[in-house]
């Protein structure tokens, strides 16, 4: 398991004074500020963060060291990370997406179906994007108790009972 969890990203600049457009991936979006300073995915670059106001689809925020619109524009697409020990512990049936990516997925008979490539959400339940040698195309598996009865992070495996006709 990684010690860094992606908690947000920079969507570009906001205004002309070096503020950034911040997207928060936190369950309570404003909580992203409490994990400051955030880092890049290597953990080497640190970004002190202050939310200045709510805007459409996120927040306007100040990042330490960013003073101009050009500097803010240059950070567009930057993914921001917090250390796992800064984040709240999750209930047993909730998982950080970073912990699911790369896990092996088996069916209820023990056959390897593939690995989790990404976790997606298009408005309803999360979907696990599976890929593997036995799959002709990428498969999107609903991440529900019915379709995914077991997630064992310690063993690095998921047991899935995919809906009829999915695979």
pLDDT the model gives residue 39: 96
Domain co-membership, 16 together with 77: yes
Q: Is residue 91 part of a domain?
A: no
pTM of the model: 0.74
For CA atoms 143, 78, 14, 18, the dihedral sign is positive
Domain co-membership, 19 together with 68: yes
pLDDT exceeding 90 applies to what percent of the chain? Answer: 75
Domain co-membership, 80 together with 110: no
Q: Which CATH number does the domain housing residue 155 bear? A: 2.30.30.240
pLDDT the model gives residue 51: 97
- Structure-model confidence comparison of residues 2 and 1, the more confident one: 2
Rounded to an integer, the average pLDDT of 64-86 is 95
| Residue 1: band (very low, low, confident or very high) from pLDDT cuts 50, 70, 90 | low
| Residue 143: band (very low, low, confident or very high) from pLDDT cuts 50, 70, 90 | very high
Domain co-membership, 117 together with 67: no
Domain co-membership, 61 together with 15: yes
How many domains is the chain built from? Answer: 2
pLDDT the model gives residue 147: 93
Domain co-membership, 23 together with 72: yes
Q: What is the DSSP string of 22-73?
A: EEE-SSSGGGGGGGPSEE-TTS-SEE-EEEEEEETTEEEEEETT--SHHHHH
Tens of pLDDT, residues 105-125: 999 999 999 999 999 887 778
pLDDT the model gives residue 92: 81
Domain co-membership, 108 together with 74: no
Domain co-membership, 60 together with 130: no
Domain co-membership, 74 together with 46: yes
Token pair in block for residue 45: 């670059």
- Distance, in Å, from the CA atom of 9 to the CA atom of 143, rounded to the nearest integer, reads 24
Q: Is residue 119 part of a domain?
A: yes
**How many residues belong to the chain?**
167
Cα angle 49, 69, 73; round to 5: 80
Domain co-membership, 45 together with 9: yes
Q: Which CATH number does the domain housing residue 59 bear? A: 2.40.30.60
The residue range of the domain holding 13 is 4-86
Model confidence at 76: pLDDT above 90: yes
Domain co-membership, 75 together with 110: no
Mean pLDDT, all residues of the chain: 92
pLDDT the model gives residue 134: 76
Rounded to an integer, the average pLDDT of 15-22 is 95
């Amino acid at each position: 398991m990684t010690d860094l969890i992606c908690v947000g990203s920079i969507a570009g600049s906001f205004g002309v004074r070096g503020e950034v457009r911040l997207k928060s991936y936190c369950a309570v979006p404003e909580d992203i500020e409490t994990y400051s300073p955030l880092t890049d995915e290597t953990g080497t670059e640190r970004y002190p963060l202050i939310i200045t106001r709510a805007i459409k689809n996120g927040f306007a925020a100040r990042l330490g060291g960013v003073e101009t619109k050009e500097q803010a524009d240059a950070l567009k697409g930057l993914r921001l990370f917090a250390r796992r020990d800064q984040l709240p512990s999750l209930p047993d049936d909730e998982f950080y997406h970073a912990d699911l990516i790369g896990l092996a997925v088996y069916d209820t008979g023990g056959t390897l179906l593939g690995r989790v490539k990404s976790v997606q959400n298009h408005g309803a339940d999360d979907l696990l994007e599976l890929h593997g040698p036995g799959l002709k195309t990428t498969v999107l598996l609903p991440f529900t108790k019915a379709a995914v009865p077991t997630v064992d992070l310690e063993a690095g495996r998921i047991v899935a009972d995919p809906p009829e006709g999915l695979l």
